[in-house]
Every structure is written in structure tokens, then in C-alpha cells.
Structure 1
Amino acid sequence: MKFTIDKSEKYTIISLEEEKLDSLKAPLLKSEIITLFQSGTENLILDLENVKYVDSSGLSAILVANRMTGDVNGEFVICNISDHVMKLIKISKLESVLNILPTKQEAIEAIFLHEIEKDLGTEPSDED
């Protein structure tokens, strides 16, 4: 499976360079996602700009990423999604479960917003 990984301090971006995320490629994506979280990733962006087709195995890999970010109080964002893939997500009734944004820049901004909210929520109160 062809993909690139771009790590920054606050997030990791996986950009798939495949047209299909199917039963042949989804296990490799799942494995990579698990490895990233074992090495400390908390926020993940999945860039599907090149992906034109996703099957149930691909959706399963996406849901693994969603669950793992939730387990570490992180944020998972999918961006650059094709119409065909969006139709499958809607048919599967996952559009309300997944955070889907149009562009990579919007996904990065969502991660930063999540981090700010997380920081604000964990600061001790001065009124104690």
C-alpha cells in the first residue's frame, strides 16, 4: 500500500496514495494506525484525496482510527473525501460518527481547536 506519513508535534497525517481502500489494503492501514498510536500519536488526520473507492474493510480501518483516537482523548479527522466514499459513509450511517472536513487545512485547524479545548478543560481553577 502506498501512503505518506507526516508527523508534527500535535498531529499525524496519513495520506493514502491509492485509489482503493479495500480488503487488500485495509489491513495494512489498520496495522499502520495501531503502530502510530503505540508510538504516542493522539491526533490523526486521514487524507483520502486520491481514494476513489472504499469497501467495508476500508470503513473498518477508518473506524479503528476513530476508536483509537477516542481512547487517548485525541481527535480523528478525515479530509478530501470523494463523493463516492461519502455516499458509502452516509449509507453506513457513519457521517455523524466521523469528523469529515473538506480540506487538509481545515482538518489541521480542527486538531488545534481540539487541543486548545482539551487544555482549557484540564487547567486547574484559580478559584480553589
Structure 2
Amino acid sequence: MKYTVDKKEQYVIFTLQEEKLDSSLSPDLKSELLTVHAEGYKNLMMDISHVKYADSSGLSALLVGHRAYSENGGIFVITSPQEHVLKLIKISMLDKVLHVVRSHEEAADAIFMNEIEGNKEEEEN
């Protein structure tokens, strides 16, 4: 599986450099996402701009990432999906669960807004 990981202060940019997100990649992707999470990063931007095809096991890997990063108040943002992949996400109604945006800038905004909301909740408790 080809990918890059760019670690920033507030989040990690995980760029999947594969054209297919399917059952052959899904187990490795789940493992890598959980490894980055275990390193202490609570926010992840998942760039899937290279992905032209995804199937249900690929979507399952994205859900695993979403679940892991959402557990401790973090956020998992999917960015730059190609039209076919975005349609699949919408057909499976995962756009109601996953944070999907068109650009890195929108993803960074979502991460920072999540951080602000999390800080407000901590102050209120």
C-alpha cells in the first residue's frame, strides 16, 4: 500500500496514493490508521484524491478510522474524494456519519472548529 503521512501540530495528513480502496488494501489501511492514532494524534485528515474506485471494505476502513479518532474528541476528515467515490459514500448514506470535504483547507477548518468546540466543553465541565 502506497501512502504518505505528514504530521502537523494539530493533525496528521494521511494521503492514500492508490487508485483502488478495496478488500486488498482495507486491512492494511485500517492497521495504519490505528497505528497513527496510537502514536497520540487525535485528528486525521484522510486525503483520498488518488482513489478512483472504492468498495464496501474500503468504506469499512474509513469507518474504522472515523470511530477511532472520534472516541477521544478528535475528528477524522475525508478530503478530496473523486466523484465516483463521493457518490458511493452518499449512496451508502455514510455522508451522514463521515466528515467529507472537498479540500485540505475545508478539512483544516473542520479540525480547528472541532478543537474549539472540544475546548469549550472542557471549560464548561
Question: In structure 2, what is the equivalent of residue 52 of structure 1?
Answer: 52
Deviations 1:40-99 (A, max 9, x none): 111111001111101111101000001011111111110101110011111211111111
Larger Rg, first or second structure (1 or 2)? 1
Question: In structure 1, what is the equivalent of residue 18 of structure 2?
Answer: 18
Count of aligned pairs: 125
Q: Distance in 2 between matches of 1:89 and 1:101?
A: 12
Aligned pairs (5 A) from 1:1-128? 1-123=1-123
Structure 2-normalised TM-score?
0.95
The structure that is helix-richer by fraction is 2
Q: Any gaps of 5 or more consecutive residues in structure 1?
A: none
Q: Secondary structure at the match of 2:114?
A: helix
Q: Any gaps of 5 or more consecutive residues in structure 2?
A: none
Q: Distance in 1 between matches of 2:90 and 2:112?
A: 27
**Post-superposition shift, 1:124?**
5.3
Structure 1-normalised TM-score?
0.93
* Structure 1 segments (4+ residues) deviating >2 Å: none
RMSD over aligned Cα, in angstroms?
A: 1.2
**Post-superposition shift, 1:9?**
1.5
The percent identity for this pair of structures is 50
**Post-superposition shift, 1:121?**
1.8
